[in-house]
Structure 1
Amino acid sequence: MFKKSLFILLICIILNIVSVSAVPYLDASASTPEIERGSIERIYLEIEEVGGISSAYNITAVPEIYENNIKITPKNIEIPVINDGTVIKVSFKINASKNAELGEKSGKIFIHYYDYDSENDVYVGPKTIQKDFNYEISEGHGIYSINTKPKNISIYVDGNYVGNTPLNISIKEGNHFLRLSSEIFGNHSEKVTIYAGENYNLFKNFEESEKIEISENISISENTSKNVSEVSEISKNIEFNGILVYLGFLLAALFVIFIFTKDKY
């Protein structure tokens, strides 16, 4: 009798363990993206059934972000089933506006799912797990499209050479100094303000008059250099002639002294 009771108890324990083990259990992990202001990045979510025996049904992943000027889409993602021991990967888009606050941020993802009761042919739930995720908002960039006539004009941003026209360049948001430089036409400078996620265009037509003006300046500069050289040469001649005159006076003085003193000796 005792052995029979012990056997029945053992069977009940085993059935209870199997029943508990058959309950699906989900776990999840999320990526930690860096998002520039004025841009969109994805956050990836991996959902895994770690129970190893049963499957989860009617899964819904719902993200929540509590920051202003930041949106996450879609509002939820539905997954019909995650079989035991498998991993499902989904993603959400995070859109950071150009006014989003910089720095590290956090959000939450709620995952709701159901267990299937085969005896009663019903879904039991929802059960919910919560996962926190982190992301960072960094300074954004704007796109500047620069073209000139003629082409192949050098471009400098804050004194740094970035290429020749025509060129599309990505510039970090903020105030910058833009300079177009040509040996023929000289320099054209502008102070520009870049906002994250914005596009800008600059076209500069260098006029022939600018070219002529620069040429005249070069001619004047050459003439000035020539005049300076001539003045320098004249100065050298004057200096040399002065030395000769000085030596002449010195020799004359020595000759006079010699005449007046020779009879004494």
Structure 2
Amino acid sequence: METKAVSCKWVANLSILLIIIFFCFLSVDLVNAGIGDPSLRVSTFVTPSEIERGGSGKLKVTVSEVGGVDWAMDVTVTPSISPLDGCTISPSLEHTSRIGASSYTTFYFTIYASKDATLGSRSVTTRVKYYDTGWLDEGRYGPYHSHSNTEILVKKGHGSIRISSIPSGAKVYIDGEYNGKTPVSLLNRVIEGSHTIKLEKTGYNDITKTISVSVERTSSVSE
């Protein structure tokens, strides 16, 4: 009787082990067969987050499959910016045919701010559209959607100033800050807007002028 009980117990344990192995293989087969729904997470990052007028920034979009049980098909990434007001994004969209289960793909876009772009914040929304497959990866279901939001700031850009004098060697002050002696050339180093220029040289009267600096332009002072 004792031998029979041990034998029955051994058979029961073996049966349990075989059932566990069966379900492990079944789980793998279900993943390979495409059973389940892909789940995509979208993360976005802009460098720099503060973009000068006349400048640009890089938008990095990472789309990750986080469900781990199925892959996403025909993934399209479309960023947008609001309000536009002088800003654009290029390219308008990116696409990949597949993002595997527990995998990810990274996309890059460029945000441009024109020299006349309105100053202030912008909302950048990235929308992702994708599809799912059925049993044995047959069929096409969807579309499904995911998205992410981030913000940028459009700020004043920089322009250039060239200052000369006859005779040369005059001290140059811009808004009260010393910037060397004439001739002075400040390329893309002066923030756009109005600035006060003062020239000083021993034996000559001081000269003060107000000039306007614009993005992608050079303002000149010659005395």
Question: What TM-score, normalized to structure 1?
Answer: 0.61
1:79 and 1:186, CA in 2 relative to 1: closer, same or farther beyond 3 A?
farther
| Distance in 1 (alpha carbons) for counterparts of 2:205 and 2:136 | 86
Label 1:88 to 1:147 Cα distance change in 2 as closer, same or farther (>3 A). farther
What stretches of structure 2 of length at least 5 have no aligned partner?
A: 1-18
Aligned residue runs from structure 1 range 24-35, under 5 A:
24-32=38-46, 33-35=49-51
Q: CA RMSD in A?
A: 3.1
Higher RCO (Cα < 8 Å, 6 or more apart)? 2
- Displacement of 1:74 in angstroms is 1.4
Q: Pairwise mapping of residues 140-159 of structure 1 onto structure 2 (< 5 A)? A: 140-146=157-163, 153-159=170-176
Match for residue 191 of structure 1?
210
2: CA distance, partners of 1:184 / 1:132: 61
Q: CA, structure 1 residues 191+129, in 2 after alignment: closer, same or farther (shift >3 Å)?
A: same
Identical residues among aligned pairs (%): 25
Shift of 1:51: 1.7
Q: Is the 8 A contact 2:35 2:135 kept in 1?
A: no
Report the Cα distance in structure 2 between the residues aligned to 1:59 and 1:151, rounded to whole angstroms: 63
1:131 aligns with 2:145: no
**Partner residue in 2 for 1:239:** none
Given that 1:57 and 1:116 are in contact with CA atoms closer than 8 Å, whether structure 2 keeps it comes out as yes
Q: By how many angstroms is 1:184 displaced?
A: 6.1
Q: Select 2:72's aligned residue among 56, 65, 71.
A: 56
Structure 1 residues without counterparts, runs of 5 or longer: 1-6, 207-265
Amino acid at match of 2:133: Y
Q: CA deviation at 1:193?
A: 0.9
Which residue, 128, 133, 144 being the options, matches 1:116?
133
Q: CA deviation at 1:167?
A: 2.5
- Provide the C-alpha distance between the structure 1 equivalents of 2:35 and 2:203, rounded to a whole number of angstroms: 81
Larger helix share, 1 or 2: 1
Report the Cα offset of residue 163 of structure 1. 3.2
Counterpart amino acid of residue 30 in structure 1: T
- Alignment correspondent of 2:95: 78
The aligned counterpart of 2:200 is 181
TM-score, normalised to structure 2, is 0.70
Question: Structure 1 pair 118/148, CA: closer, same or farther in 2 (3 Å)?
Answer: farther
Determine if the alignment matches structure 1 residue 160 to structure 2 residue 177.
yes
Deviations along 1:22-79, one digit per CA (max 9) or x if unpaired, are 4221111112511122322222222111122332232111112231222222111122
Number of residue pairs matched?
193
Q: Distance in 2 between matches of 1:21 and 1:98?
A: 51
**2:80 corresponds to which letter in structure 1?**
E
Letter of the structure 2 residue corresponding to residue 128 of structure 1: H
2-side partners of 1:104 and 1:171: how far apart? 22
More strand by share: 2
Q: 1:103 matched to which residue of 2?
A: 120
